[in-house]
């Protein structure tokens, strides 16, 4: 597995990470714990060293799963987790309908760190992201709290998720930001306009989540796809039958390139992301070994400048239908 560095931080990870959220949360009922432990360990055996979780996934159960699965490999891997939600006991297990409020007050961040350290069974959190920007707490205070945790040896690196460029700059002045995690893929290209140039300027890595468009870019969905009520895609505007049908043009494009490259649409979608910048590390999630292996195969897919130009020209003619999130969730991004 190739390695990449997240910006100028020196934090080196595998070129692809593994997003672990869907193993316990959001994509239907939680999966069998032992099977997921085996899958995470299979990822380590295949060279993946970067694993993503958060306290809100479950809540809490995903961190426990990741901690248990990676305990034997602690020195070989980088574990990223996130803080910033106010997790009350009545949180809807679907995670999206009953979304908790935000809380990035410094004392809350420190409590969250202590709890995550225990659940992850680690002495230090490798990468600690603010999950969503909390407008009630100045970002300087958030960065300052994480800076304290770094000085105490409880956290190694500071990250932000779905933050806007002014927030990134302000945070970075207090405590250098190692990585920004935001949705980025062929069907969500918002970061290209302002965020990616800012990250390049400041030397911050980009960790795209949902790099396969929450499963859509695998080419395995069409307008007849049905989502269980425990699957949060059932609430997303981009996953209505009309939007799925309209957005099929993107799958056709990926399919054409995949055929030429003897690859799959998912591999082309990931290879395209990897080709954008050398400091981009996508974190596709999966609960299936064959999908994990398919995703890893993307690292070996070579897209030439001509291939990338062809994809861009064709993609520019496609208007993606449907918002990423319902309005309440969309408002939490790009702040």
Other CB atoms within 10 Å distance of the CB of residue 153: 9
Largest CA distance in the chain: 54
Return the pLDDT at 322. Answer: 95
Give the CB-side neighbour count of residue 97, counting CA atoms within 13 A: 11
pLDDT tens for each residue of 33-81: 999 999 999 999 999 999 999 999 999 999 999 999 999 999 999 999 9
pLDDT tens for each residue of 14-34: 999 999 999 999 998 999 999
Return the pLDDT at 100. Answer: 83
Q: Which two tokens stand for residue 220?
A: 């395995």
Catalytic: which of 27, 57, 209, 325? 57
pLDDT tens for each residue of 235-257: 999 999 999 999 999 999 999 99
Burial pattern 100-132, b for ≥16 Cβ within 10 A else e, equals bebbbbbebbbebbeebbebbebebbbbbbbbb
Distance spanning both ends of the chain, measured CA to CA: 35
**Does the annotation count 184 as an active-site position?**
no
What mean pLDDT comes out for the span 185-194?
96
Return the pLDDT at 90. Answer: 56
Contact in structure between 120 and 81 (CB atoms under 8 Å) = yes
Return the pLDDT at 11. Answer: 98
CATH superfamily entry for domain 3-330:
NADP-dependent oxidoreductase domain (3.20.20.100)
Return the pLDDT at 95. Answer: 47
User: In the chain, what are the domain boundaries?
Assistant: 3-330
pTM of the model: 0.96
Asked whether the predicted pLDDT for residue 98 surpasses 60, the reply is no
Return the ∠ at Cα 71 (arms to 121 and 300), rounded to 5°. Answer: 125
Q: 102: helix, coil or strand?
A: strand
Mean pLDDT of the chain, nearest integer: 95
Can you tell me which residue has the tokens 């970061």? 191
Return the pLDDT at 81. Answer: 98
Return the pLDDT at 96. Answer: 46
Helix boundaries (H) for the chain: 33-45, 61-70, 106-120, 139-151, 165-174, 195-202, 241-246, 248-261, 265-276, 289-297, 305-316, 327-330
88 pLDDT band, cuts 50/70/90, is low
Return the pLDDT at 94. Answer: 46
In sequence order, which residues have a C-beta less than 8 Å from that of residue 165 and are 6 or more positions away? 194, 195, 198
């Amino acid at each position: 597995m190739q390695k990449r560095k997240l910006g100028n931080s020196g934090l080196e990870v595998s070129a692809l990470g593994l997003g672990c959220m869907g193993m316990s949360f959001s994509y239907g009922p939680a999966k069998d714990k032992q099977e997921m432990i085996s899958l995470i360990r299979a990822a380590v055996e295949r060279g993946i060293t970067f694993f993503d979780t958060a306290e809100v996934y479950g809540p809490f159960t995903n961190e426990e799963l990741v901690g248990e699965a990676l305990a034997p490999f602690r020195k070989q891997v980088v574990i990223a987790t996130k803080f910033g939600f106010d997790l009350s006991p009545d949180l809807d297990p679907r995670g999206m309908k009953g979304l908790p409020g935000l809380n990035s007050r410094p004392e809350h961040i420190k409590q969250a760190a202590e709890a995550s350290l225990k659940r992850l069974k680690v002495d230090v959190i490798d990468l600690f992201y603010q999950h969503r920007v909390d407008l009630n707490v100045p970002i300087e205070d958030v960065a300052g709290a994480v800076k304290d945790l770094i000085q105490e040896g409880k956290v190694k690196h500071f990250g932000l998720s779905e933050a806007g460029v002014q927030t990134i700059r302000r945070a970075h002045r207090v405590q250098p930001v190692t990585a920004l995690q935001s949705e980025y893929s062929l069907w969500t290209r918002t970061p290209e306009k302002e965020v990616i140039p800012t990250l390049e300027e400041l030397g911050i890595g980009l960790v795209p989540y949902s790099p396969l468009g929450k499963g859509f870019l695998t080419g395995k969905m069409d307008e007849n796809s049905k989502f269980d009520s425990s699957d949060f895609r059932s609430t997303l505007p981009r996953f209505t039958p009309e939007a799925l049908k309209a957005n099929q043009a993107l799958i056709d494009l990926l399919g054409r390139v995949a055929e030429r490259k003897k690859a799959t649409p998912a591999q082309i979608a990931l290879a395209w992301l990897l080709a954008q910048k050398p400091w981009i590390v996508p974190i596709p999630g999966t609960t299936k070994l064959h999908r994990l292996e398919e995703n890893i195969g993307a690292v070996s897919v070579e897209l030439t400048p001509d291939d990338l130009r062809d994809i861009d020209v064709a993609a520019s003619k496609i208007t993606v239908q449907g918002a990423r999130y319902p309005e309440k969730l969309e408002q939490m991004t790009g702040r």
